[in-house]
Structure 1
Amino acid sequence: MADNSPNPYRLPRGVVPRRYELRLEPDLEAFTFTGTVGVDLEVLEPLGEIVLNAAELEIADGDLDGVALAGVEYDDEHERAVLRLGEAVQPGAARLNLSFTGTLNDQLRGFYRSTFTDEDDNERVIATTQFESTNARRAFPCWDEPDFKAVFEVTLVVPDNLMAVSSGAEVDSQPTGDGHREVSFAPTMEMSTYLLAFIVGPLEATDPVDVNGTPLRIVHPAGKGHLTEFALDAGAFCLDFFEDYFAIDYPGDKVDLVAIPDFAFGAMENMGCVTFREILLLIDPDSSTQQERQTAVDVIAHELAHMWFGNLVTMKWWNGIWLKEAFATFCEMLAVDAYRPDWKRWLAFGLSRAAAFDVDALAATRAIEYPVVSPADAEGMYDLLTYEKGAAAVRMLEQYLGADEFRDGVRHYLRRHSYANTETHDIWDALAESTGEPARDVMDSWIFQGGHPVVSATADDDGTVTLSQSRFRYDGQPDDAHWQVPVVAAVGSDAGSRTERLVLNDPVALGTDEPAWVMVNPTADGFYRVAYEGGLLDRLLDGGPDLDPLQRYVLVDDQWALTVADRLSVSDYVAFAERMAATEDDLAVWRRLAGTLGTLDHLVSDNGRASLQARVRDMVSPVWGRVGWDPAAGEDDRTGELRGVLARTLAVGGNDAEAIARCRELMASDGVDPALAAAAIAVVAATGDDADYQEIHHRYQSAPTPQLELRYLMALTTFDDPALMARTLAATLDGTVRSQDAGFVLRGCLENRDLGPQAWAFIANQWDEINQRLPTAIVPRMLGGITALSTPNLATEVEEFLNAHPVPQGKLIVAQHQERQKINCELRRRVQEALGTKEN
């Protein structure tokens, strides 16, 4: 039949799958699998062929309603199989049966293999799946597009000594008489192919926790059950939270959270069988930091939110990836804030939002939603703009509409579109119907237009404060982009203080009085920068109200962004940072301050570094006097985290000899507070020698928890000895470092202040091998490290290399890295002029 779709990657619409009966038998020694699939079809028009997705599979034979296929042709470019029919099939119900074979690959996609070493030092193999976005076609022939929803009934034939799990609950297990079992699973709800999962291996499961009638377990590699209690508690809380928030029962029959040793992403929301990196489920609360535990709960909450936002209601095509991911990111904040209010999750969101701002200030940014044609396009959508900017835009809308009104609109959307597929406008229309507010009008300029505004507050000659907007770009180029900006401003005058709420289109004056002070975006809900002009920043800091931590955070974040954009001088920023540091004692604010000071340290010339380090020591000194080395009885988690941030900043950024020595003592000690222990490892590595490297490398190889393993691994990237750097680089390709981690190690090496160029030379020389070993989704993220190679010569070298070696699955992400690299080259020049003699 003719394909009327303008997109060559879209399947014809003449036949629709309704139900799959899938039977698979993996061989964990030969790394292969065999399978059969029977698909109940609805044929919509007369057909002489059936076109479906298949990649890296060999279809052995098949039939349609008992009539053998006339042949099978493969379209490798579009990852399709064309099934030739012996005679035309007429509209109506039909049954397609296929048998096939495939390989358990090592690319962490499709049906792949993962390995771990058990307690007896034996290597064990797990066969597991990762289907999003377009990889179910690597496990079985199927209609691998999100709007082809169907029911899946899975049977796995597995060795007797292995465990099998899938999206549905296990309903039967029968011996086959040859040392294997045939395990059958309940049919799933109607869902997209990318949400199916099945896993076989030497696994164990916790006892289930009942969450409103749904059993929830942690499934993990054998021998690691002692690390599951924290994640089990968090998972049960989040599942209950979302049933209440969405007012819809969990749509599956069980929830397994599965820890996988090798996993390209952080986690994947497979229906009923959610897969995670081990670091996110296997946690020792006594040795993990608050940040590590928070990250774990973040991701658990995110994936469980997807059971409704993404699984129950699904985008029609991959251009809608942002919607499910942005809403799940927003929802994770709600759940984690409810789980641990003392963590102040919305305040910590500022760091994630800052990273999205950073990308969105580039000329090479993109709209949150953009056209997706190919699988490579879909893979490129998994970035900070999809997750963090998308979540920030959702949060902005929630606060504009009101939290309860927004929640009711979301419930309306989910009820209306349950088990169906939607476009972006469907959510805005549901919110508009529920609240009476023009949600689509407000949101379209944020979703379909790249970039974000800076709202400038200007004091006019007559004292009136006027607000105006323009696009914020690091390169300073003029841009006529325009937004409907929901602005909140706190205004103080002789008459008292008040709050102004408005949607900013054209410039607008804040009343007719002469304000004593103004603060724009005081709740940090708006996704825009703020620039105070005409002395308004000093008036706010000198005569304004006591600012809460979130308000102080926003000021630091905005002032740094204005510095990168050359709207504020480096000297003025450092003076501002000194002023803020003098009284600051909040974790989030200090994380942002420490990050900017670390960037200055990276860019300053060697002969200006000592002076900057002295200023950093002076900045840390006041708060360090209040926090100190020793935890106080009953102090909260955030204070412990603050101590770790300050210790690292003082020792590395401030080059404080006493702090460095104390960190060495702490790394050699037992029973150290986890945040301080993590800081000590980082300090020893950043200032260490060969003996320190050997010790940290040994600890990496023998780490008892995933969190400690990653801490030690990433510390290896910060040593400043070229021979040690060469050893770390080599480990990314020789099997020492898992492929899921190797790209992030290489990124860390690129970010090494002195040895980044050595890391780049290694990557360029080993490019082909790196691309063969690393999962494709990780390569663009690895290249994020090039932004630290901020000299013109290196920028040119990198540009020429990447022009000759393009990364199709992350073309835009890589372009963003390259632009930021050039911006950092200019920032380096300005930093060195302001803080030290410019390098030759």
Structure 2
Amino acid sequence: MEQLNPHRLPRNVKPLHYNIHIKPDLANFVFEGEESIQLNVLEATSKIVLNAADLKINYAMLDCGNSKELLRVSYDKDMETASFEGEDSELELKPGMTPMLYLSFNGELNDNMRGFYRTSYKIDGQKRWGAVTQLESCDARRAFPCFDEPDFKATFRIALTMPENFTAFSNMEPRSITNAGYGLKKVLFEITPKMSTYLVAFVVAELDCIANRDCNGVLIRVWTRPGKQSHGQFALECALHTLPYFANIYGIPYPLQKLDMVSLPDLAAGAMENWGLITYRETALLVDPQNPSASSKEGVASVVDHELAHQWFGNYVTMVWWTHLWLNEGFASYVGDRAVSNQFPKWQALERYVAEVHLDALREDGLKNTHPIEVEVKNPKEINEIFDSISYNKGASVNRMLHHYLGKDFDKGVALYLRRHAYGNAVSDDLWQALEDCSGKPVKDVMSGFTRRSGYPVLMVENLGNENGKTRLRISQKQFMYLPENTSEQDARWNIPFEILTPRGTSRHYLDKESHEINVEAEGDDWIKLNPGHAGFYRVAYPESMLKKLSECVKQKKFSAIDRMCILDDAFALVQAGEIETSSVLEMLLVYRQETNYNVWLIIGNVLGTLDNLLKERNQEDILKRLYVTAQLLIDSRVKLLGWKKSRSDTHTDVLLRGFILSMAGKYGDSDTIKNASRRFQKFINGEKLDPDLRQAVYSIVALNGDSDTLSALREIHRKSDSHEEKTRVLIAMGNFRDVDAVKTILDFSLSDELRKQDFPILFSAMGTNHCARKMVWQFIKSNWDEVRSRYHGVYFMLVDILEPMGGFATKEMLADVEEFFKKNRLEGLERTMDKIVEKIKINIAWAEREKL
């Protein structure tokens, strides 16, 4: 068989089953392992090659049934492989043989948050240590030697030996627990289903749990630090709803007997979907029942349901290779939000999905330095870089578009796809085939353009006139890009099913060429809206006359919240791309003065924030003052209506909107709001209560207007709090400081032991979006680059949040500085991120120069 690239393993041997016994030593931060792998020889070979990194293999022997042979091992550090050959004679492995490979090895329990690593927590004020795995995408090889590619599926039996007072977890339930002597115990787990190495998991820690069984009898447990069990109740309720929800939709029961959800103090990602043993950051799993906030409940529900979706999308059926990562992440993102909406219909979760997922994907995919959903990746560093907005958010958006196109046949086709590839691997074409078989529609013809090419179209509308109650439109398409000079030379045509909404109703159409003329039921004075509900993954550009009619409809709330937000976002994107003037969007903003929907306000806030940053970057004080007047006109009535106190009639989204509006009022200089926030903060630090739903707004406002004393008070809250949610609020608020001395102190704090490694990006993301701190942050990153890079070696995706805010610069001076630094400090696995940042600065400069700023 042909080897695809040097980073891929040969296909001459594959694993059938692993027996793995791990013994962590938490006193010395090392571990030992013993392993046997049953192999299936597919082609004649004299050598066995598998993955191993940061491990020392001490013993290797091959048992072929009628002979046993000691093996010598050689390592390729760059390829992260170990090769085994006969020590005394050449191996003669022939097709059909099923030998057993025996290995012993050891490694370090590092603090890099990948492989098998250590994590710390406190019990009764005392620091304790545990050990946990994080193996996606290519880090199983750091926990045990293995065939570390997703299509090398096998079964696993895990055993762990640890101190008697610790609890051990793995993908399956324990089969036996035996005394191992010297105060140790050995836990042997049941055999897993056939699965990929990156989904293997084991945890050793001192934890407590709450548990219940879902309606299908599956045992679900939420594990927390001792004393925090009640904080897992909300996540447990989400899982009790969602696990049966997915089993019912797809007609495929959850295949394991149990599901453990474990909260951990140190985790690189927000959560990891290990089959039967999902690991989470504490903020992604725990809600304080005494101080619950609407945002924390919503965040937990979203992450829990995303990870539960993976139990089918990614675990039950896995992509063949990381090129098709979107089959995991795009599905989990979309159907996870559907599950949230099903359990909490008043939360407007699908509106939030459009605001935070769909529109984010459109913004990122309008860049030159984007990538197709199906992107060819070769080495592990490239793989980590595609865990991004395109794989997650564009993948989810394509699924929503497809669902809208197919209707009920979408879930039927997905269920067929899952059944056909159960416990196996798949590619995008397998999904298209199942959906075509159920719907009879040309799914592949429509969807391939959106998954195999980067970018997306903008549909340009031209009104050709009205006659006999029908309006004739010319609909044209071209690739949307923020910088016109970046327009691709590729054939900029997509096959696009689209809808048109008028006062007379909705009509469906199909565009498969550059332009097309159609008639719609509409009088001359009627408004006409393309892409109602914004299910299609494209933008729409209207002539000024049509856009004004739509704006009037927005003012009168004739459109859904999704349409109100997307009309504004499309128009603003066209401003940034130079297609329409900035003044037209500023005028459009005023029609949103009576807007009451939280999700629409997220888009209004993004527009105002982006304009605010550009004007500050270009030192346009006079225009900035006018922007603040506009912002205050928009915000003032909302502040007066919502106030600071909750009402019994408040909905979930009212609570979220109150905090958001108050934060904006403070940001844009409302003196009453600033005074009120300061007064509430002083009362809180003096021992009075502060509503958890208002804390982020209060902390951020006082930081924005605060000094070193304010910072000291916030740091004390961070130090004393036992809640990671509260610590995160403080870190986000720290990003708002404008006081130079406070910013310097925060930068020094960032590399101290007070801040967990996983939280460094949270702080720097917040600081980087603050114009007043951004240059200082950038200088700090440059001065401390070696330390920052070494801290996140192997998990460079965590550096994305640190670097991306630098895309807010908007001067040629800073463009040259950033370009020069990135040129000298290229990092494999961060190249695309670096190029995107440079491109975003260029977009800002081009925009400012067009507007003569």
**What TM-score, normalized by structure 2, do the two folds share?**
0.94
- Maintained 8 Å contact 2:230/2:289: no
Is the partner of 1:228 in helix, strand or coil?
Answer: helix
Q: Identify the match of residue 776 of structure 1 among 796, 805, 814.
A: 796
Q: Identify the match of residue 663 of structure 2 among 645, 648, 655.
A: 648
Counting only pairs closer than 5 Å after superposition, residues 501-512 of structure 1 correspond to structure 2 as 501-511=509-519
1:82 is aligned to: 83
What letter matches 1:67 in structure 2? K
Deviations 1:32-76 (A, max 9, x none): 000000111112233221111000000001210162434110000
Distance 1:275 1:211, change over 3 A: farther
Aligned counterparts of 2:690 and 2:849: Cα–Cα separation in 1? 41
1:367 is aligned to: 372
Q: Does 1:725 align with 2:743?
A: yes
Deviation at 1:539, TM superposition (A): 2.2
Aligned counterparts of 1:416 and 1:649: Cα–Cα separation in 2? 50
2:462 is aligned to: 458
Deviations 1:751-801 (A, max 9, x none): 221121111011001001001113322113321111122221111111111
Q: Identify the match of residue 823 of structure 1 among 843, 850, 853.
A: 843
What letter matches 1:488 in structure 2? E
- Maintained 8 Å contact 1:780/1:807: no
Aligned counterparts of 2:553 and 2:329: Cα–Cα separation in 1? 41
- Maintained 8 Å contact 1:17/1:40: yes
Aligned counterparts of 2:43 and 2:494: Cα–Cα separation in 1? 46
Distance 1:187 1:498, change over 3 A: closer
Distance 1:146 1:498, change over 3 A: closer
- Maintained 8 Å contact 2:551/2:588: no
User: What is the identity percentage for the equivalent residue pairs of Structure 1 and Structure 2?
Assistant: 33
1:485 is aligned to: 496
Deviations 1:583-637 (A, max 9, x none): 2111011111012112222222362233322221111123333323332223111
Is the partner of 2:98 in helix, strand or coil?
Answer: strand
What letter matches 2:790 in structure 1? Q
Deviation at 1:341, TM superposition (A): 0.5
Deviation at 1:498, TM superposition (A): 4.0
Which range is displaced more, 213-222 or 28-37?
213-222
2:529 is aligned to: 519
2:567 is aligned to: 555
Deviation at 1:742, TM superposition (A): 0.8
What letter matches 1:395 in structure 2? R
Deviation at 1:448, TM superposition (A): 0.3
**What TM-score, normalized by structure 1, do the two folds share?**
0.95
* Root-mean-square deviation over aligned CA pairs: 1.7
Deviations 1:99-132 (A, max 9, x none): 00001111100001111222x2211111000101
1:476 is aligned to: 484
Counting only pairs closer than 5 Å after superposition, residues 564-713 of structure 1 correspond to structure 2 as 564-580=576-592, 582-604=593-615, 605=619, 607-608=621-622, 609-653=624-668, 655-667=669-681, 668-669=683-684, 670-713=688-731
Which range is displaced more, 699-708 or 656-665?
699-708
1:246 is aligned to: 250
Is the partner of 1:365 in helix, strand or coil?
Answer: coil
Distance 1:286 1:468, change over 3 A: farther
1:107 is aligned to: 112
- Maintained 8 Å contact 1:457/1:467: yes
Deviations 1:678-721 (A, max 9, x none): 21111111111111111111111122322111001121121112
Distance 1:543 1:704, change over 3 A: closer
- Maintained 8 Å contact 1:517/1:539: yes
What letter matches 1:791 in structure 2? T
Q: Does 1:546 align with 2:558?
A: yes
Is the partner of 1:614 in helix, strand or coil?
Answer: helix
Distance 1:577 1:830, change over 3 A: farther
Which range is displaced more, 745-754 or 690-699?
745-754
Deviations 1:142-200 (A, max 9, x none): 11011110000000000011111001111211111210000111110000000000010
What letter matches 1:471 in structure 2? Q
Deviation at 1:285, TM superposition (A): 4.7
Is the partner of 1:754 in helix, strand or coil?
Answer: helix
The unaligned stretches of length 5 or more in structure 1 are: none
Deviations 1:5-55 (A, max 9, x none): 130011111111101000010001111000000111112233221111000
Aligned counterparts of 2:158 and 2:505: Cα–Cα separation in 1? 63
Aligned counterparts of 1:523 and 1:334: Cα–Cα separation in 2? 15
Aligned counterparts of 2:10 and 2:715: Cα–Cα separation in 1? 53
Distance 1:332 1:756, change over 3 A: same
1:343 is aligned to: 347
What letter matches 2:23 in structure 1? E
Q: Identify the match of residue 437 of structure 2 among 433, 440, 455.
A: 433
Distance 1:221 1:295, change over 3 A: same
What letter matches 2:816 in structure 1? T
Aligned counterparts of 1:732 and 1:175: Cα–Cα separation in 2? 44
Aligned counterparts of 2:289 and 2:493: Cα–Cα separation in 1? 47
Aligned counterparts of 1:431 and 1:178: Cα–Cα separation in 2? 58
Aligned counterparts of 1:437 and 1:429: Cα–Cα separation in 2? 10
- Maintained 8 Å contact 1:285/1:293: no
- Maintained 8 Å contact 1:258/1:275: yes
Deviations 1:433-492 (A, max 9, x none): 111111111100000010011111211256632221111110123444211112111023
Which range is displaced more, 474-483 or 344-353?
474-483
Aligned counterparts of 2:582 and 2:292: Cα–Cα separation in 1? 36
Q: Identify the match of residue 168 of structure 1 among 172, 176, 183.
A: 172
Aligned counterparts of 1:459 and 1:748: Cα–Cα separation in 2? 44
Aligned counterparts of 2:620 and 2:715: Cα–Cα separation in 1? 29
Is the partner of 1:199 in helix, strand or coil?
Answer: strand
Aligned counterparts of 1:534 and 1:302: Cα–Cα separation in 2? 40
Counting only pairs closer than 5 Å after superposition, residues 311-350 of structure 1 correspond to structure 2 as 311-350=315-354
What letter matches 1:80 in structure 2? T
What letter matches 1:614 in structure 2? V
Is the partner of 2:313 in helix, strand or coil?
Answer: coil
Number of corresponding residues: 824
Aligned counterparts of 2:368 and 2:345: Cα–Cα separation in 1? 38
Counting only pairs closer than 5 Å after superposition, residues 491-502 of structure 1 correspond to structure 2 as 491-492=502-503, 496-502=504-510
What letter matches 1:165 in structure 2? F
